[in-house]
Structure 1
Amino acid sequence: MVQFIGGIGRGPQDPAGEAGWGGEHPPRMGFFTDTSVCIGCKACEVACKEWNALPADGLALTGMSYDNSVGLGASTWRHVAFIEQERPVGVEEGAEGGGGGDSMRWLMSSDVCKHCTHAACLDVCPTGSLFRTEFGTVVVQQDICNGCGYCVPACPYGVIDQRPEDGRVFKCTMCYDRLGVGAEPACAKACPTESIRFGPLDELRAAAATRVTELHAEGVPEARLYGHDPEDGVGGDGAFFLLLDEPEVYGLPPDPVVTTRDLAAMWKHAGAAALTLAAGVAAAFVSRGGRR
């Protein structure tokens, strides 16, 4: 049985269409990152920086991991996480004695903007700098961004970030310029193990479910999908993952909820409350006038 993480907030089936692209736009495109075959080479990070002309992160390691970029940011749109785990081996659960010991394993995952179905960053942007493309992705137009930073706390994943020089925000564009000419994103093109897969989102979801079933059959019961489910708190991600442990281990929120998901309903209730209040004030005014 495929294990999914999430469970609320079904998103629109066609976010690009709802954004005004009409019925003839391309299918929604996305990323499926299979962490079970990621080797941590960082080819995706390098390709992303090279293609998008992003500043270098420096060569200093963090001291906690073989990592020099720490996490996603305004100048790091792809980040490969290295998680070192100590696991007991050689002793079955509940067994006494035996020749068991400790074994280390690496969990590696290339993180990226999730291009949410319900994108809070897009919802709160006052200038229209963030927009939904015909491919269903979310892109920032830096020449329109005013550096207000409203989108930064709105993102449930902590992805979008400001540059200190002028406050403008930057994040993954899923190589929008490459998609327009029929090319795949630079990170997916550079991945040597096909850990990062790019394509129509519906096809990726089907392939991901098949991959989880295969891993379960091969004795990897902890394999699970993250961000796949349209019923989750962001309506499903345009970039989702196959994980080998809990999301928190990878630095991902276990149940992300977009802050603006219920905004329309909130305005509806606020409007109803305002009308009720106005009616009450009017009734009181009329009643008071009639007693004079």
Structure 2
Amino acid sequence: MLPDPNSLSGPLDPAPDAGWADAPPRMGFFTDTSVCIGCKACEVACKEWNDVPGSGLDLLGMSYDNTGALTANSWRHVAFVEQPRPAGHRSPPFAGTPAGGSVSASSAAAGTGNPTGTDPGVPPGSADAAARMAGPGSAPAGPEFLGMPGAQPPGRAGGTEGRTDFRWLMMSDVCKHCTHAACLDVCPTGSLFRTEFGTVVVQEDICNGCGYCISACPYGVIDQRAGDGRAWKCTLCYDRIGAGKTPACAQACPTESIQYGPLDELRERAAARVATLHERGVAEARLYGHDPDDGVGGDGAFFLLLDEPEVYGLPPDPVVTTRDLPKMWKRAGLAALAMAAAAVAAFVGGSS
């Protein structure tokens, strides 16, 4: 169904509009890039669970990035962005950590780098990722270890006195599962469909390889597989979530950068996380894809970014590409009627 051009914000949950009666809560992803360490566990888990072909070993001349973008063979893509930092920039301390210091051993042993246990970026009851990765009996080494802005690049040891002239931004990108999905609007076979969880899935056995969805996607997510021709993308592990399980990428993420759950809860958690980062002095933290009044009606997979969207290869103002189709069809219909009326008038006039 084409979106109403006069009400792009629409409902937050598109499943009922797709015909799902008594649909469960809309599910989605919140990806907190401030704690992404670029390990690519999400990429591997996605490939293993969904039997996605390998992307090959090609570093592309872009640091540790061997995939480059979301493709038919990469349904998750971890971006590595290396930036110069402003002079005098200093990473803010992690919550509950003295400036320039490290998390206490007792906090690490307790499974949290935040003694108050109030960090909204970590779901209640779960161990802090930095403490887990530090290993038994050792404490995390401050903000550089925690993946905060200004973090050391992967494989570089050192604390707060290390190199400070650049920073690495990392983000695990994925299909956005838009509220108003243009790919659904243009698919002629019904291969793409809206699930009861509000996500968008491609049925490869119905796809005819026309490629309309590829040009319609405002994020450039969907791709055709070489030698196959059909469209492929993230399904948000529809088979897993239908069985009450967590998607493979979120299950594998060691820092809980990728969080899965009811979209309403994720939005609340994300807003609290941004507020916390602002209090810590990370003024550049902002959300992307969370606004139901944006050009796609909000995304089912949204992000916390530490710079402008363009830095991560994301469009700053995505718009559902089929937004104007209802108006265009209406105008085309009126024009056709006018032409038909003119032809009839000409025929009648010529006959008389």
Tell me the TM-score normalised to structure 1 length: 0.88
Per the TM alignment, residue 164 of structure 1 is displaced from its structure 2 partner at its CA by: 1.1
- State the AA in 2 paired with 1:175: C
Distance in 1, Cα, partners of 2:221 & 2:89:
40
Q: Deviations over 1:183-225 (max 9, x none)?
A: 0100011111111111111111111111111111111111111
Cross-structure match for 1:19: 18
Cross-structure match for 2:34: 36
Per the TM alignment, residue 89 of structure 1 is displaced from its structure 2 partner at its CA by: 2.5
Per the TM alignment, residue 136 of structure 1 is displaced from its structure 2 partner at its CA by: 0.6
Distance in 2, Cα, partners of 1:179 & 1:79:
21
Distance in 2, Cα, partners of 1:86 & 1:275:
60
- The residue correspondences of 1:160-171 to structure 2 (distance < 5 A) are 160-171=222-233
Residue 10 in structure 1 maps to residue 72 in structure 2: no
Per the TM alignment, residue 282 of structure 1 is displaced from its structure 2 partner at its CA by: 3.9
Cross-structure match for 1:148: 210
Per the TM alignment, residue 246 of structure 1 is displaced from its structure 2 partner at its CA by: 0.5
Residue 133 in structure 1 maps to residue 195 in structure 2: yes
Tell me the TM-score normalised to structure 2 length: 0.74
- State the AA in 2 paired with 1:48: C
Say what the alpha-carbon RMSD is for the aligned residues: 1.9
User: Which shifted more, 81-90 or 52-61?
Assistant: 52-61
Q: Deviations over 1:48-77 (max 9, x none)?
A: 011111112223312222111111110110
Residue 103 in structure 1 maps to residue 103 in structure 2: no
SS in structure 2 opposite 1:184? coil
Residue 174 in structure 1 maps to residue 236 in structure 2: yes
1:253–1:28: structure 2 CA closer, same or farther, 3 Å change rule? same
Distance in 2, Cα, partners of 1:57 & 1:280:
58
Distance in 2, Cα, partners of 1:16 & 1:27:
9
CA contact (8 A) 2:12 2:297 kept: no
Cross-structure match for 1:232: 294
CA contact (8 A) 2:84 2:165 kept: yes
CA contact (8 A) 1:11 1:236 kept: no
Distance in 2, Cα, partners of 1:144 & 1:261:
25
CA contact (8 A) 1:154 1:259 kept: yes
Per the TM alignment, residue 91 of structure 1 is displaced from its structure 2 partner at its CA by: 7.7
Identity, in percent, stands at 75
Distance in 1, Cα, partners of 2:23 & 2:11:
15
- State the AA in 1 paired with 2:220: G
Distance in 2, Cα, partners of 1:118 & 1:201:
15
Per the TM alignment, residue 13 of structure 1 is displaced from its structure 2 partner at its CA by: 3.2
Per the TM alignment, residue 283 of structure 1 is displaced from its structure 2 partner at its CA by: 4.4
Distance in 1, Cα, partners of 2:89 & 2:61:
32
Distance in 2, Cα, partners of 1:34 & 1:68:
22
Distance in 1, Cα, partners of 2:300 & 2:248:
17
Residue 263 in structure 1 maps to residue 261 in structure 2: no
SS in structure 2 opposite 1:117? coil
Cross-structure match for 1:45: 43
- State the AA in 2 paired with 1:190: A
